[in-house]
Amino acid sequence: MIERWSVHPSIPIGLGILLLLYWLGVDPLRRRYRLGPPVDRLQAGTFGFGIATFFLALTGPIHDLSDSYLFLVHMLQHLAITLIAPPLILLGTPEWLLRPLIRPAGVYRVVRFLTRAPVAYVIFNGTLAVWHVPRFYGETLIDLPTHIFEHFLFIATAFLVWWPVLSPIREMRLRPPLQVFYLILLTLPMKGLGAALTMQGDVLYPAYALAPRVYGISPMDDQRIGGLLMWLPSGSVLWGAAAIVFYRWWRSEQVAEDAEAGAREAKAKSSAGGLA
């Protein structure tokens, strides 16, 4: 069925340019113009893993199976390019590398508006819902430019929706308690769409019903499993992120309280020593 690793030239070219720009920014340009501190291996590796996730999701078996055979693999692909790769790339991008790009007042205002939590939430989930309407989804399976445009929108809006939590520009992030609430709210639309797909009594996307059957999966089971993937794993990723944010916030509050208590105790001892 799949005898070779298929790669559309636009994928390695685009990702290669992104990697090159990243390397130029964090190494020779940083040293020459003293842009900021060196990027550690963990942060650079996180960025690299994000790029690798995009490559694996958009080429090879995942690409071929999702385009021509299985809806469930298409859902895995969409989860990878919206919930895995974008947060990795944001985590791997240092603040000092990104800040000059949005410094112009007009650029900053646009970015600030699009990445506000309510705006990003509506744009991302609206995009996801529209492209799962059978008419539009079916068009992506028969027209390559439409499919590329769909993936571009998924990726772009995914960066928007993660920005209030993981923005390299710290003042653009929500406060930690609001981040937790925001991430929990993000689980709802995907769960709703996944549940609708899982419980649907008919095959919504005829292209998959007509496709050659692989791995013994019927079109109806394919759609139900795809819905479950959107319903459960997507929620797990977002709940996991919310748990990490909550723990780090709680831990920072504990450290601050301990430091404050230590300062009060030291002050009390100093006052007692002075009286003595």
Tokens of residue 176, six digits: 């930690």
pLDDT on residue 274 = 58
Mind spelling out the 3-state secondary structure of 164-226?
A: HHHCCCHHHCCCHHHHHHHHHHHHHHHHHHHHHHHHCCCCCCHHHHHCCCCCCCCHHHHHHHH
Q: Please, is 35 exposed, middle or buried when counting C-beta atoms within 10 Å of its C-beta (0-12, 13-18, 19+)?
A: middle
- Rounded to 5 degrees, φ, ψ at 93 are -100, 120
Give the residue from 183, 171, 188 showing the smallest Cα distance to 128.
188
DSSP result, 117-178: HHHHHHHHHHHHHHHTSHHHHHHHHH-HHHHHHHHHHHHHHHHHHHHHHH-SSGGGSPPHHH
Residue 2 lies in a domain: no
pLDDT tens for 122-177 read: 999 999 999 999 999 999 999 999 999 999 999 999 999 999 999 999 999 999 99
pLDDT on residue 1 = 56
* One-letter amino acid for residue 7 of the chain: V
Could you list the residue range(s) of the whole structural domain that residue 17 is in?
A: 10-275
pLDDT on residue 195 = 94
The alpha carbon of residue 135 and the mean position of all alpha carbons in its chain are separated, in whole angstroms, by 26
Is the separation of the CB atoms in 271 and 233 below 8 Å?
Answer: no
Residue 181 lies in a domain: yes
Residue 15 lies in a domain: yes
Residue 5 lies in a domain: no
Give the residue from 248, 235, 247, 106 showing the smallest Cα distance to 183.
235
Q: What is the CA radius of gyration of the chain?
A: 23
Residue 3 lies in a domain: no
Residue 1 lies in a domain: no
Q: How many structural domains is the chain composed of?
A: 1
Cα distance between residue 91 and residue 84, in whole Å: 11
Residues of the chain with pLDDT below 50 are: none
Sign of CA dihedral 210, 77, 24, 160: positive
